[in-house]
Structure 1
Amino acid sequence: MMYFTPVETTFGHLTLIHRGTDSAGVVAILLPKTKKESLQEVKSRFPKAEQGSVDSLIPFKGMLIDYFDGARVKFPIDVLDLSICYPFQIEVLKAEWSIPYGKTASYSCVAKKIHSTAYRAVGNALSRNPFPIIIPCHRAIRSDRTLGGFQGGLKMKRRILEMEGVEFDSLGRVAEEYVQSSLDPLFDYFQSPKYLNNFNGTF
């Protein structure tokens, strides 16, 4: 059984799709829209989902609200059901998750971190990211520092990055100081037991 939980944010009506279990089991995050548009998307993509929530989602919802209010939040991924993704995509999403708040990285940078030269495949994996915002695919950009694509459109992508403090040059490219040249050692640190055991959602 699938459930949907609406979350009101300053960007609009965001929706969590989940299995309703104690571990949350979030299978999709629908980006902010109007309430009417969000309900239409739920009915279109998850026609059998019923509205409902579980206690384990309460702090997660609070983090989403805080994030869109401008707080520096690092989301946990233990509430996500990554089993719905294919193996290569899981690698890409975990690497993308390590890009810090207020920074960006190119698709090729993400590919190199997972020891791949399949830059286009990385882009495709991110374009199908079921968990936008939590897995921050809005922080993935092209090597020329232009924005690339985003499920919510480029206007929303830029708005989110600017909310995080990212600046742009006169040509609309991400300013160089906001681009990560490597995901080391952040990626390895975020995968470490020390980080995961002590993670509290903020930094």
Structure 2
Amino acid sequence: MQDHPSNHAAFYALFETSIGLCGLAWNERGVVGFQLPEDDVSKTRSRIARRFPGIVETPPPPHIQGIVADVTALLQGEARDLSTVPLDLEGVADFDRRVYEIARSIPPGRVLTYGEVAARLGINNARAIGQSLGRNPFAVIVPCHRVVAVGGKLGGFSANGGATTKRRLLAIEDARRDESPTLFDLIS
């Protein structure tokens, strides 16, 4: 995953989830990155430090605590809408912003194909969608795991654990392509 951190001071906090220790990075403009678990805490910290040079670990302020609580609940299978989490998109290419906006519109428990995302953008290039999602610094918050290949195939996932992690995230959400209600729909 590529990152384009802004020039604003950035902070991060690590927090335990049902899938392991995750990290959330932010500045005064919003979330600048999300880190899925690495093999151990030192690798998670090292990855964040490489992604965001000069970042400082600190307890999250109240508004970030709310995001952490929502992410943690979502990763436990609870219905949470992360589509309004403020993101600092400084340095994120316009095409990627448009792809991420569509990905953020996919509710928990649902998926779109790379081709469907491309069609919503008015292009015929599913590969470009996959490449954009591979650069997503906001995994889970911009739910790139909800974009899959045709025919029930997962497609790629650039986070630690690759397709195994993507499959696990989709299983937690009981994701499906059909229109029957999911647990998330019934709770809303």
Say whether 1:103 aligns with 2:106.
Answer: no
What is the CA–CA distance in structure 1 between the aligned matches of 2:91 and 2:20, rounded to whole Å? 26
Say whether 1:7 aligns with 2:15.
Answer: yes
* Equivalences, count: 169
Q: Which runs of 5 or more structure 1 residues have no equivalent in the other structure?
A: 167-177, 182-201
- Alignment partner of 2:130: what SS? helix
Within-5 A mapping of 1:47-62 = 47-52=53-58, 53-62=60-69
Q: Which residue identity does 1:162 align to in structure 2?
A: A
Q: Which residue identity does 2:120 align to in structure 1?
A: K
Partner in structure 2 of residue 28 of structure 1: 33
- Alignment partner of 2:138: what SS? coil
What is the CA–CA distance in structure 2 between the aligned matches of 1:72 and 1:56, rounded to whole Å? 19
What is the CA–CA distance in structure 2 between the aligned matches of 1:131 and 1:42, rounded to whole Å? 12
Q: Which residue identity does 1:28 align to in structure 2?
A: G
Say whether 1:165 aligns with 2:174.
Answer: yes
Partner in structure 1 of residue 92 of structure 2: 85
What is the CA–CA distance in structure 1 between the aligned matches of 2:18 and 2:129, rounded to whole Å? 30
Q: Which has the larger radius of gyration?
A: 1
What is the CA–CA distance in structure 2 between the aligned matches of 1:115 and 1:42, rounded to whole Å? 34
TM-score by length of 1: 0.77
Partner in structure 1 of residue 6 of structure 2: none
What is the CA–CA distance in structure 2 between the aligned matches of 1:66 and 1:91, rounded to whole Å? 26
Partner in structure 2 of residue 143 of structure 1: 150
Residue 91 of structure 1 and its aligned partner are, at CA, apart by 0.7
What is the CA–CA distance in structure 1 between the aligned matches of 2:157 and 2:57, rounded to whole Å? 27
**Cα shift readout 1:150-193 (whole Å, capped 9, x = no counterpart):** 12211111111111113xxxxxxxxxxx2269xxxxxxxxxxxx
Q: Identify the match of residue 134 of structure 1 among 141, 152, 176.
A: 141
- Aligned-residue Cα RMSD (Å) equals 1.8
- Alignment partner of 1:32: what SS? coil
Q: Go from structure 1 to structure 2 and tell me whether the alpha carbon gap of 1:180 and 1:100 turns closer, same or farther (over 3 Å shift).
A: farther
- Alignment partner of 1:83: what SS? coil
Partner in structure 2 of residue 179 of structure 1: 177
Partner in structure 2 of residue 172 of structure 1: none
**Cα shift readout 1:131-161 (whole Å, capped 9, x = no counterpart):** 1101110011112221111122111111111
What is the CA–CA distance in structure 1 between the aligned matches of 2:131 and 2:84, rounded to whole Å? 20
Q: Is the 8 A contact 1:18 1:26 kept in 2?
A: yes
- Overall identity of the aligned pairs, in %: 28
Q: Is the 8 A contact 1:27 1:84 kept in 2?
A: no
TM-score by length of 2: 0.83
Say whether 1:155 aligns with 2:164.
Answer: yes
What is the CA–CA distance in structure 1 between the aligned matches of 2:15 and 2:158, rounded to whole Å? 18
What is the CA–CA distance in structure 1 between the aligned matches of 2:105 and 2:53, rounded to whole Å? 33
